[in-house]
A = this chain, B = another copy of it.
Amino acid sequence: MDSILLAHGSGGKLQSDLLEKVILKHIKNPIINLLEDSAYLSVNKSKIAFTTDSYVVNPLFFPGGNIGKLAVCGTVNDLLCIGAKPLYLSLGLIIEEGFDYERFEKIIASIASEAKNAGVKIVCGDTKVVEHGKGDGIYINTAGIGEIKHYFSPQKIETGDFIIVTGNIGDHGIALLSERQKLKFKTPIISDVANLTGISDILFKNSGIHCMRDPTRGGIGGILKEIALKSSIEIEINEKSIPINPGVSSICEILGIDPLYLANEGKFIIFSKEEKIVSTLKHTKLGKNAAVIGRVIKKDQKGKVILLTKVGGKRIIDIPRGELLPRIC
């Protein structure tokens, strides 16, 4: 391999190769953990969670949000995922020379309002400007610190665990695709981008939850395969139980896209020993379409993910190699 490809950044096979064969070859320590989106740290006896994401979404504004809202929600959700209460964010901006001042201010205003909505404080930041043609409007990095309240981890997953998704899948992917390709639909598809602090109380109070993840790049297919592989479990999911907006479903059929690999930006995949949390989630705005979509079948396996299709067949779900849509987040 001579150079970096777009697919190295799309959450699939090439990305994990890059991570394992280059980055982790050099950077190794007992804390860095591929199983988690956030790191568990101790600072002077306090347990804190630490995570980071850069956002390079294209277009910067899309139905349902913009890169600023995404940069807050994505990092907040990564902290919630491992059982941490999000507290503080950093904000790193890389702006392309010539970027419109008004659009810049709109993005900053979204960041501020979403941080308020999520109950986090933006406490430090940095601004860099690169020459025109060396960026794409604006790239944003947020790092986040949270206080660990619970310990959710793929390592806690048990045979029989229910696999729950907190709502319709694929909305973010299709919203981006429509905006980018200028596709017009009768009912426009809106990105699901949202911070999930609104359901975190329910999730943190539930003792049955073993593991949570936000299925962003790579979609629920990518994330389930990743968890299955790294936790050595076998998973079965039912296509007919997977909640999906009928509009998203039709577009996927027409364009031949697998919705399992479409990005989500306001959803969790939950592994729980109880399914009753679904009925509680259904009473919330962010979880009203929550559903059990499958079970953990066996442990100590090679990480097979089986999809029982609507027509009664079986399909093996693998890690996506590249991605239909680069720069989804």
Interface residues on A, range: 35 or more
B41 contacts A98, CB within 8 Å?
no
Contact pattern, A 126-148, Cβ under 8 Å of B = 1, otherwise 0: 11111101111001010101010
A311 at the interface (CB under 8 A from B): no
Q: Which residues of B contact A126 (CB under 8 A)?
A: 52-54, 141
Q: Which residues of B contact A23 (CB under 8 A)?
A: 108, 125, 127
A100 at the interface (CB under 8 A from B): yes
A121 at the interface (CB under 8 A from B): yes
A254 at the interface (CB under 8 A from B): no
Q: Which residues of B contact A293 (CB under 8 A)?
A: none
The answer for the CA separation of A295 and B87 in the assembled complex, in Å, is: 39
Q: How far is the CB of A179 from chain B (nearest CB, A)?
A: 17
B127 contacts A15, CB within 8 Å?
yes
The answer for the CA separation of A141 and B32 in the assembled complex, in Å, is: 17
The answer for the CA separation of A141 and B53 in the assembled complex, in Å, is: 9
Name the residue in A22, A26, A37, A55 with the highest tally of chain B Cβ atoms < 10 Å from its Cβ: A26
Q: How far is the CB of A21 from chain B (nearest CB, A)?
A: 9
Q: Which of B39, B92, B93, B326 contacts A123 (CB 8 A)?
A: B39
Which residues of A are at the interface with B, using a C-beta cutoff of 8 A? 1-10, 15, 18-19, 22-23, 26-27, 29, 31-32, 37-39, 41, 43-48, 50-56, 87-88, 90-101, 104-105, 108-109, 111-112, 115, 121-131, 133-136, 139, 141, 143, 145, 147, 326-327
